[in-house]
Amino acid sequence: MAVHRILAIDDEDLVRRTLRDLLTLEGHDVVDVADGETALEKLALEAFDVVLCDLSLPGIGGAALIESIRAIAPTTPIVALTGFASIDSAVRSMRAGANDYATKPLRHDDLAARVANAIQRSRRQLSRRSREVRSMFLKSIRSLVATLEAKDPYTKNHSMKVAALSDRIAAEMHFSPEARRRVRLAALLHDVGKIGIPERILHKNGSLTPAEYEQICEHPLIGERILQPVMRSLPDVVAAVKHEHERFDGRGYPSRLKGAEIPIASRIIMVADCHDAITSDRPYRDAQADDVAFDVIERGAGTQFDPDVAAAFLRLKPSMAVRRDPAPASPAPDGLAALAPAAATAAS
């Protein structure tokens, strides 16, 4: 049986002892306080699974206290405690923000049932909120990628293809399912910083001037600035996007990281990105054959590319079909939805 933390608020010592004894018998961890001020201090510093709140408290009244608790802990279920059963007390507590109410004197079976119901309700609310956060997260990713592709038509489907190939390399290297999800997510977003690069540079047919190349080298840092506010819980993904252009020999950008200093996801994405760049049309040249890309990556192992990542990629050669302009595809075998973090706290 799971242990749940419960905050019990009542000004009567006997009631608090009764609550503590009854709920401890059910296996819960109970913290009891005698007034609303102390309760709010506890809630500001600690998380609780359920709050039991007397409606007849001195100082901050029960209804006002419930409203304050709801402001601090909007998803925590609250069970109001009232000294008499009436429609008025129930309505008053529900309007204040309580999820349920129990009448005194408290009965073990009734209290246990109401606490269990409150916990179940909390789980349903968290599950629904998790789905909503996940949906918003995925919509944000789609929007970022769509914005980039609208600006640079030469990279249409590039992010999707790099994400799919990065996933295959990670699988070949025996990454866990969660690690593969994070690699795919970083790969899907690896070029998002190009939103901040002028189109005249992105679409230039000839060689870039030193000043233009310097601007291009800014896109990983722009990507980091775009992603950090919305991906605070995924710093490894943001770091992978920032460092995707670091070379294994330390001659890359933006930080000139070397070898194992470079996030492994960045090292994987660099190989996948190189393959797709070579085998796709660009403003300055037509797409080249897969064999050219394989040769470039094989020769660059140990200098531009991580040799272990390059070796894993080269092992995929027999199973890779030659494609020049594939139709839009999902970014990974299990679809875009799998790119969201396993826990919905990703956007928190």
Candidate from 280-284, 288-292, 336-340 with smallest mean pLDDT: 336-340
Shared-domain flag, residues 91 and 201:
no
Q: What is the DSSP letter of 1?
A: -
> Residue 214 domain-assigned?
yes
Shared-domain flag, residues 181 and 309:
yes
> Residue 131 domain-assigned?
no
Q: Could you say which of 80, 111, 126 is where a domain stops?
A: 126
Shared-domain flag, residues 201 and 280:
yes
Measured CA to CA in angstroms, residue 336 lies from 120, 146, 157, 159, 330 at distances of: 30, 14, 13, 12, 6
pLDDT at 283 over 80: no
Shared-domain flag, residues 109 and 165:
no
**Cα torsion for 209, 212, 213, 218, to the nearest 10°?**
170
> Residue 146 domain-assigned?
no
> Residue 15 domain-assigned?
yes
Give the three-class secondary structure for 190. coil
Tell me the pLDDT tens digit for each residue of 206-222.
788 999 999 989 999 99
In single-letter form, the type of residue at position 240 comes to A
For 238, residues 6+ apart whose C-beta sits below 8 A from its C-beta are: 224, 227, 228, 231
224-227 — which CB contacts under 8 Å span 24+ positions?
224/193, 225/193, 226/144, 226/192, 226/193, 226/195, 226/196, 227/189, 227/192
* CA nearest to 49, candidates 25, 32, 73: 73
What gap in Å lies between CA 17 and CA 5, rounded to an integer? Answer: 16
Shared-domain flag, residues 306 and 169:
yes
Q: Could you say which of 126, 141, 171 is where a domain stops?
A: 126
What gap in Å lies between CA 233 and CA 118, rounded to an integer? Answer: 28
What gap in Å lies between CA 175 and CA 300, rounded to an integer? Answer: 23
Give the three-class secondary structure for 161. helix
Tell me the pLDDT tens digit for each residue of 106-163.
788 888 888 888 878 767 766 666 666 666 766 777 777 777 777 666 666 888 899 9
**Cα torsion for 96, 97, 103, 107, to the nearest 10°?**
-160
pLDDT at residue 345, as a whole number: 36
> Residue 141 domain-assigned?
no
For 134, residues 6+ apart whose C-beta sits below 8 A from its C-beta are: 337, 340, 344, 346
pLDDT at residue 333, as a whole number: 34
Please give the share of the chain, as a percent, with pLDDT higher than 70.
81
Catalytic member of 194, 204, 242, 258: 194
pLDDT at residue 9, as a whole number: 92
pLDDT at 70 over 80: yes
Shared-domain flag, residues 259 and 306:
yes
Q: Which residues pair with 30 in a beta bridge?
A: 6
Largest interatomic CA distance in the chain: 84
pLDDT at residue 327, as a whole number: 38
What gap in Å lies between CA 32 and CA 48, rounded to an integer? Answer: 12
Whether residue 194 lies in the annotated active site: yes
pLDDT at 253 over 60: yes
Shared-domain flag, residues 121 and 195:
no
pLDDT at 338 over 70: no
Q: Could you say which of 64, 91, 126 is where a domain stops?
A: 126
Give the three-class secondary structure for 150. helix
Shared-domain flag, residues 22 and 167:
no
Q: What is the DSSP letter of 255?
A: S
Strands (E), 204-300: none
Shared-domain flag, residues 109 and 218:
no
Q: Which residues pair with 6 in a beta bridge?
A: 30, 50
Q: Which residues pair with 101 in a beta bridge?
A: 80
Q: What CATH number does the domain containing 28 carry?
A: 3.40.50.2300
According to DSSP, the β-strands at 50-54 and 78-82 are: parallel
Shared-domain flag, residues 163 and 250:
yes
Measured CA to CA in angstroms, residue 136 lies from 71, 171, 231, 317, 346 at distances of: 23, 27, 12, 37, 11
> Residue 259 domain-assigned?
yes
Shared-domain flag, residues 204 and 100:
no
Shared-domain flag, residues 43 and 78:
yes
For 296, residues 6+ apart whose C-beta sits below 8 A from its C-beta are: 274, 278
Looking at the structure of the chain, the number of domains it has is 2
pTM above 0.75, yes or no: no
Candidate from 40-54, 76-90, 124-138, 259-273 with smallest mean pLDDT: 124-138
Q: What CATH number does the domain containing 228 carry?
A: 1.10.3210.10
pLDDT at residue 245, as a whole number: 96
Phi, psi at 80, each rounded to 5°: -80, 145
> Residue 139 domain-assigned?
no
Q: Which domain holds residue 312?
A: 152-347
> Residue 163 domain-assigned?
yes
Candidate from 19-33, 39-53, 91-105, 193-207 with smallest mean pLDDT: 91-105
pLDDT at 266 over 50: yes
